[in-house]
Homo-oligomer: A and B are copies of this chain.
Amino acid sequence: MTVTLADVAARAQVSPATVSRVLNGNYPVAAATRERVLKAVDELDYVLNGPASSLAAATSDLVGVLVNDIADPFFGIMASAVQAEIVGPGGRAGGERLAVVCNTGGLPERELTYLTLLQRQRAAAVVLTGGAVENEEHIAAVAAKLRRLTEAGTRVVLCGRPPVPDTDTVALTFDNRGGARQLTEHLLSLGHRRIGYVAGPEERTTTRHRLEGHREALAGAGGPTPDDLVVHGPYDRASGYTATRELLGRAPDLTALVAANDTVALGACAALREAGLRIPEDVSVAGFDDLPFSVDAVPALTTVRLPLSEAAARAGRIAMDREAAPEGGVDEVRGELMVRGSTGVPREA
């Protein structure tokens, strides 16, 4: 039925071993023989049997990219960059690898399921993107899985995720704390004092770090962060919308709003507008990430730009061993404050 290596070998009048070597190109084969084999491959329209090959060679050409939410451009951009590096610059350069992105939905179980699935497939490398869930049990489970993966020869790279102690993994983290601090400091410097904060989901490293940065900035300005000015919710537009309405109810006097990310900020803007408040005249709004649409918001969103594409590309290269891992296995990538139209001087400043 299906064409096998043996068929090709028969047609090319060589042994299966030779065909295998031509296809893998890691053993000298006379030019004439190679030609003959390639011709046979072509004529028979032969396609290597991946599983058989992986089994025999004990490695596969699968590379996994785990993301929390593929529908979110934040992850889409990173996934795209990683994948581009993995397939190879030329589109198919080098040993064709299958870069597969796995959507965990931010669920701990799914993350583990995918990790197991990738382990099962003997993946060549795995890139984990985005914030991690901060749940002791889950962290331990993931660490164990990653240890097992690296032991089996799978290279593991984390991007935008805190390093996992006691593992052979490489981590490229984002300076969420520092970025958030800068952002809030910017607001403080404009004169804002009552600043609402729409945080991401609890138990997420990204959420915590950004919130900590915010608190640091406020603490630096002498004030604590009133708990009632912080509301948690998922990283989506709806959360920004509802949280803002909630905050507006709790503190009608706030003059600025910091959102967990740009998407949330957009929802916040919608809620403010609906409440008849102008941006930034009545309330300033700031986001995080600087996703492509942020510059097009009206007014353009003040935010912290994270070099998602660059960082992810680097992660991909490290995973492919085409770039050295950073000293110590960890490197922090900084964000850049982008001041735009959505933030301004408060009403009565």
Residues of A within 8 A of B (CB): 2, 45, 47-55, 60-62, 69-73, 75-77, 79-80, 83-84, 87, 91-92, 96, 98-103, 105, 107, 109-110, 113-114, 116-122, 148, 152, 237, 263, 266-267, 269-270, 273, 292-293, 295-298
Contacts and interface: CB of A to CB of B under 8 A. Distances in A.
Contact of A79 (B70, B92, B120): B70
Residue among A47, A73, A237, A296 with the most chain B CB within 10 A?
A296
A127 to B, nearest CB: 13
A69 B298 CA distance: 26
A277 B279 CA distance: 20
Contacts of A53: 51
A43 B56 CA distance: 27
Contacts of A69: 80
A92 B103 CA distance: 13
Nearest to A2: B152
Q: How many copies does the complex hold?
A: 2
B50 A52 contact: no
B116 A91 contact: no
A293 to B, nearest CB: 5
Given A50-B51, A110-B87, A117 B96 contact: yes
Contact of A91 (B72, B98, B113): B113
A105 B297 CA distance: 26
A296 B49 contact: no
A347 to B, nearest CB: 21
A86 to B, nearest CB: 10
B102 A50 contact: no
A53 to B, nearest CB: 8
A288 B73 CA distance: 18
A298 to B, nearest CB: 4
A92 B113 contact: yes
Contacts of A45: 148
Given A55-B55, A110-B91, A99 B102 contact: yes
Contact of A50 (B47, B91, B120): B120
A21 B178 CA distance: 53
Contacts of A2: 152
Given A84-B105, A91-B110, A120 B71 contact: no
A92 B102 CA distance: 13
A111 B82 CA distance: 17
Query: Most B CB atoms within 10 A — which of A55, A69, A113, A116?
Result: A55
A122 B1 CA distance: 14
Contact of A49 (B55, B77, B103): B55
